[in-house]
Structure 1
Amino acid sequence: MNLAQVVHDGAALAPLQFGGDLIGLAIVFLVLAVIAAVAGASGVAGLSMTIAKWLVIIFVVLAVVTFIL
């Protein structure tokens, strides 16, 4: 039996935890924004920064909810 996945009545139950990919994605979008800004693509840089900002906000909210519950 795999510790990461339990089968109950034919349905696979996945754990509630997931990999911390939000911060990794935020860093990727931040680097993309910096590179785009240096290259002069202000539209791509602004969009990338907005995506990175929202990913960090979602990460912080989920972290606070996790610590409270």
Structure 2
Amino acid sequence: MIPVLSRAQMRAFDKHAIHHCHVPGVVLMENAGRGAADVISAIIEAGSAAPSGAAALPGHAARP
């Protein structure tokens, strides 16, 4: 997958969405999680996924 935005660009986009468009940060995180799950499901259903593991790391919302 080719990243569309850098981490800094995504952080700025999220900040704009939260402060100027009044989108709650939790909604952004839920949508990101749903999108990631959709991609993973599609890969598994296509049978193109090799056995692997996944790790959850704290994201932007987890920072104090």
TM range (shorter): 0.3 to 0.5
Considering fraction of residues, name the structure with more helix. Answer: 1
Considering fraction of residues, name the structure with more strand. Answer: 1
Larger Rg: 1
Relative to the length of structure 1, the TM-score reads: 0.39
